[in-house]
Structure 1
C-alpha cells in the first residue's frame, strides 16, 4: 500500500509542475488582452454565456480530480454570480480576465488528467474484485481499505486472495512508467475461479499502451482459455535423454 501511495504522490507532483508552467503562459496572456481592451469591443454577448457554461463544466470535471486529492473542490458559483452582475460597459475587461482564467483551469486539469486516469483505473479495478470492502486513494493521505461499515482495514486483515490481488495490481501500476518484463508465477494461487478469469484482462487494462510484458507460469485453465494463442507448453527436457 505504501508503494502505491508514494507512486501516486510522485506522479501528482509531476502533473502539477506541468500545470504550473502552462498557467504562467496564461497570465502573460491576461496582460496582453488587457492592454488591447481599452477603447475596443472584443466580445459579443454570446461569448459571455459561453464562458460561463465552460466554467460550469470545469467545476463538474474537477470533481473527478477532487476524488483523489489532486485538487481542491472548484467552486465557481461566486465567480459566475459576479460576472452576471457586471455592467455592460465593463464586460470586455471582465472577459479579458475570465477567458485566460478558464484556460488556466483547463491547463491544470489537462496536466493532471494522465495521473487521474491511472488512479481511477487502479481503484476501480481493485473495487471490481473486492466485496464488502472498498479501496480509496488520495495523493495526500495515501491508500486505504475500508470495510462495508466504514472501518479502516489493515493489509493483514485481508484474505490471502485479496492480499495477493492487491500485491499483483499494485506492483503492476507502479511499474507502468518504467516498463519491462513482469513475471508472475502461478497467480491463480489463492484466487477464486471468477478472479482468475478477470485477472489478465485487469492487468492489460491497467498497463494500457505501456511497455510492460507479462510472462506467467500457470496451471489454471481459467487463465489460459481466453488467451490460448499466447500459451506455450513447457516440457521437462531431461525426459528426452
Structure 2
C-alpha cells in the first residue's frame, strides 16, 4: 500500500483510478492513485481497502502527457505463486513446494518435477481451479471431487488461498479460505450436490474475493486444450473467438472449412495472435493520427511567428532535427516489414536539409518539426505491437530454421518453407505445432499479473528445443508480468532452470493407497450446470 497520494495523468481523458486508504483520511479532496504498467493505466488499490475503511472512489479527468505529480510512491509488484502445500493428496501424498530449506527463484518459473503418478497434473489443476477469478465451469467442482485433506497456495504478497476439509476427511465438502495481510480471514463453504458431485451454490462470493488479487489465470493442459475462463458460454466450436486484451469477446471468425476445434489445429491460435496485433495496431494508428492532427496546427503558428536564433543555435537545431529524422527512418523501416507503417523518406529529407542554405534550414526545420513529431507519436503508439510480434517471429525462427515464420498486418502469421513458399499450418510436424502453440499462448497471456500454467511443455519437442523452450517462451512474453507454472518430466527442460525447479518429495511416510487416486480423471461437471468450455 502507499502512504502518500500519487496521480498519473493520461491522454485518454477518461476518469480512472483509486485512492490509498492511508491517504484518504488526510485529504480534503480525494483524487486517484494509478501506475503506468506495460503501457496501460492500472488501479493499484484493491476494492477491499475501500469497503474496509469506508473510503470512496473519486474520479478525475486525466490529461495529455503521463506525469507523476509531486510525490513518491512504491510500486505494487504483480502477484505470483510463492509456494504450494498439499496435505494427503489422494490420501497419502503430502508436499511442501518448495521445502523450508530450499532457496528457489520462482518469480519467473515455478517448475514441478517428480515421478509419474506423483500428482503433478492434479496439483496444477487444483491450483488453477482454486485461484481462477471467474465462474468457470467445473472449477470448484473439480476441487470437490479430488481427494485431499488440504491444499494451500501462498502468494508473493503474503496472501494465502486454501481449500480445507474437516479433520479426518479427504473427500466431500470443503472450505475455501482466503487470508490477506492486515485482513481477517474469509471462509467460503463449498457444498457438493450429493447426486452430481458438483458445487452449484456459494461460488459468486469466492469469485468476487479472488478478483481482488487482480490475477489472470491461464491453463494449457497436456492435451493442449486451453482452460480459458473468458471464452463464451456455449461457444460454437466452428468459430474462432477473438478477444481484446481484457478478455472481452470482440469478434468471431469461421474456422477453415467449418472444421471443428482440435487441440493441434494451431490455425485458430495463429489467427488470434494476428487479430490481437491488428486490433492494437489500429489503436496505435489512431493515437498517432490524433496527435499528428493536433501538431500540424502548429505549422501556421510557427511560420507566422518570427523567431530569432544565433548561427550557433541554428546549426544545433538543424543537427538535432537531422538526428531525429535518421532515427525515425531506422525505426519505420523495421515497422514497415510488419506492415505497421509505410517507409519514412528519411534520405530525401536529409538530402534537402543538407543542400539548403543555413537560413533556409531553419525555416525547413520549423515546417518539418510538426510532421516529425507526428510520426514520432505514431511510432511510440505502435512500439508495443512491433515488440510483441518481433519477439514472436524472432524466437520462433530461432527454433524453426530452416523454415521461417513471418508476420504482416495484411497476411497475419505465415510459415514459409526453405524455398520461401507458404506452408499450411496443419502440414507442420507435431513438434512444430506444439512450439507455435505455446508461443501463441505466451503472446496472448500478456497481462499484468498473469499466471500461465502449462502441463508438460516439452511434448513432441526434440532435445534441442526442450533446452531452449522456457527461455524462448519467456522471451516471447517479454516484459509482461507473467509467472510460468509448469510440470515436466524432461531433464532437458530443467537443465537451465534448476534454481526454479521444485522436486515433489512425499513428506508422508504412510504409503497406503485408499483407492482414491485418479490423477488422469477429466473434469466432467460444471458450476451452475454450465456447458463445458470450448477448447482453444
TM norm. shorter chain > 0.5: yes
Hey, which of these two has a bigger chunk of helix by percent?
Answer: 1
CA gap of 1:215–1:19, structure 2 versus 1, over 3 A, is: same
Of 463, 474, 477 in structure 2, the residue corresponding to residue 193 of structure 1 is 463
In structure 2, how many angstroms separate the alpha carbons of the residues matched to 1:183 and 1:56?
43
Asked whether the equivalents of residues 333 and 343 of structure 2 are also in contact (C-alpha less than 8 Å), the reply is yes
Q: Which residue of 2 aligns with 1:4?
A: 273
In structure 1, how many angstroms separate the alpha carbons of the residues matched to 2:439 and 2:323?
39
Q: Which residue of 1 aligns with 2:491?
A: 221
In structure 2, how many angstroms separate the alpha carbons of the residues matched to 1:180 and 1:149?
39
* Equivalent residue runs for 1:6-85 within 5 Å: 6-37=275-306, 40-42=307-309, 44-84=314-354
In structure 2, how many angstroms separate the alpha carbons of the residues matched to 1:229 and 1:83?
56
1:109 aligns with 2:376: no
SS of alignment partner, residue 321 of structure 2: helix
Deviation (angstroms), 1:69: 0.5
CA gap of 1:119–1:47, structure 2 versus 1, over 3 A, is: same
Of 127, 145, 148 in structure 1, the residue corresponding to residue 397 of structure 2 is 127
Gaps of 5+ in 1: none
User: Number of aligned pairs?
Assistant: 239
In structure 2, how many angstroms separate the alpha carbons of the residues matched to 1:77 and 1:181?
46
In structure 2, how many angstroms separate the alpha carbons of the residues matched to 1:27 and 1:124?
36
Moved segments of 4+, more than 6 Å: none
CA gap of 1:222–1:89, structure 2 versus 1, over 3 A, is: closer
1:159 aligns with 2:159: no
CA gap of 1:192–1:98, structure 2 versus 1, over 3 A, is: same
Kindly report the root-mean-square deviation, in angstroms, between the aligned alpha carbons of the 2 structures: 2.4
In structure 1, how many angstroms separate the alpha carbons of the residues matched to 2:304 and 2:407?
45
Deviation (angstroms), 1:91: 4.6
CA gap of 1:57–1:219, structure 2 versus 1, over 3 A, is: same
1:146 aligns with 2:413: no
CA offsets 1:99-135 (integer angstroms, 9 cap, x no match): 2222222111122112111111110000000122100
CA gap of 1:187–1:88, structure 2 versus 1, over 3 A, is: closer
CA offsets 1:120-157 (integer angstroms, 9 cap, x no match): 11100000001221000111221111001111101111
Asked whether the equivalents of residues 41 and 92 of structure 1 are also in contact (C-alpha less than 8 Å), the reply is no
CA gap of 1:226–1:48, structure 2 versus 1, over 3 A, is: closer
CA gap of 1:215–1:89, structure 2 versus 1, over 3 A, is: closer
In structure 2, how many angstroms separate the alpha carbons of the residues matched to 1:91 and 1:129?
49
Q: Please say which of residues 89-98 and 1-10 is displaced more in the overlay.
A: 89-98
Asked whether the equivalents of residues 395 and 475 of structure 2 are also in contact (C-alpha less than 8 Å), the reply is no
**Rg: which structure is higher?**
2
Gaps of 5+ in 2: 1-269, 514-536
Hey, which of these two has a bigger chunk of strand by percent?
Answer: 2
SS of alignment partner, residue 150 of structure 1: coil
CA gap of 1:210–1:53, structure 2 versus 1, over 3 A, is: closer
